[in-house]
């Protein structure tokens, strides 16, 4: 007999969770899903679970949404069955359950990798250029120049010009509007 799992969810996530569980086929024959009666699964509370989850719970483990902040120890004690927080995203459920899962398809997203030089305002233009080229060589698409609070970055313009001359994209991370 396979492990009996009970997944708690909300109205919006229910169809996607049902498809995911069904994709496990025979392995999921003893798995159940319970819509706890909230629209957004992450917003279920410990009190809602205690009021709305039928007893006795017929499961070896109860899997809550990853963003649910209920006290797992209290629920475990109250229901007499192990409660645990699952992954934050349903797509990560196969990996969470130790059943692999396909690598995510990121091809439809236009992504850029930012690499920050945290203390750039304390470094020389030459040192920043060397570090930026290392980061770009490692896959960074944008070099983010980190500005330290209350630390002037008097050579910011010169640094940006030097990095642009090397063909790099640059962003500036500063809370000081004057620097931007």
List pLDDT tens digits, range 110-139.
Answer: 889 999 998 899 999 999 999 999 999 999
Examine the domain organization and report whether 92 and 118 are in the same domain: no
Give the number of other CB atoms < 10 A from CB of residue 170.
17
pLDDT at 109 over 90: no
Examine the domain organization and report whether 92 and 135 are in the same domain: no
* Residue-level pLDDT at 12: 96
Examine the domain organization and report whether 9 and 87 are in the same domain: yes
DSSP string, 141-163: SEEEEE--TT---TTHHHHHHHH
List, in sequence order, every residue forming a beta bridge with 6; answer none if it has no partner. Answer: 32, 62
Task: Give, rounded to a whole angstrom, the gap between the first and last alpha carbons of the chain.
Answer: 63
Domain span including residue 140: 114-173
- Backbone torsions φ then ψ of 33, nearest 5 degrees: -125, 135
pTM score, whole prediction: 0.58
Examine the domain organization and report whether 125 and 165 are in the same domain: yes
Examine the domain organization and report whether 10 and 52 are in the same domain: yes
CATH number of residue 62's parent domain: 3.40.50.11600
Exposure class string for 62-83: b at 16+ Cβ within 10 A, else e:
bbbbbebebebeebeebbebeb
Task: Give 143's pLDDT tier (boundaries 50, 70, 90).
Answer: very high
Counting the structural domains of the chain, the total is 2
Whole-angstrom distance, CA of residue 127 vs CA of residue 165: 15
């Amino acid at each position: 007999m396979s492990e009996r799992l009970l997944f708690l969810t909300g109205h919006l996530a229910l169809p996607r969770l049902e498809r995911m569980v069904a994709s496990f086929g025979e392995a999921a024959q003893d798995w159940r899903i319970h819509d706890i009666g909230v629209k957004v699964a992450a917003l279920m509370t410990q009190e809602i679970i205690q009021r709305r989850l039928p007893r006795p719970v017929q499961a070896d483990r109860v899997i809550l949404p990853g963003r649910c902040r209920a006290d797992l120890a209290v629920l475990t004690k109250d229901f007499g069955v192990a409660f645990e927080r699952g992954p934050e995203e349903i797509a990560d459920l196969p990996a969470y359950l130790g059943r692999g899962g396909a690598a995510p398809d990121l091809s439809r997203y236009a992504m850029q990798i930012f690499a920050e030089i945290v203390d750039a305002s304390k470094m020389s233009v030459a040192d920043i250029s060397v570090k930026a080229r290392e980061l770009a060589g490692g896959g960074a698409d944008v070099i983010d120049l980190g500005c330290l609070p209350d630390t002037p970055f008097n050579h910011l313009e010169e640094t940006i010009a030097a990095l642009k001359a090397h063909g790099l994209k640059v962003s500036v991370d500063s809370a000081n509007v004057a620097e931007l």
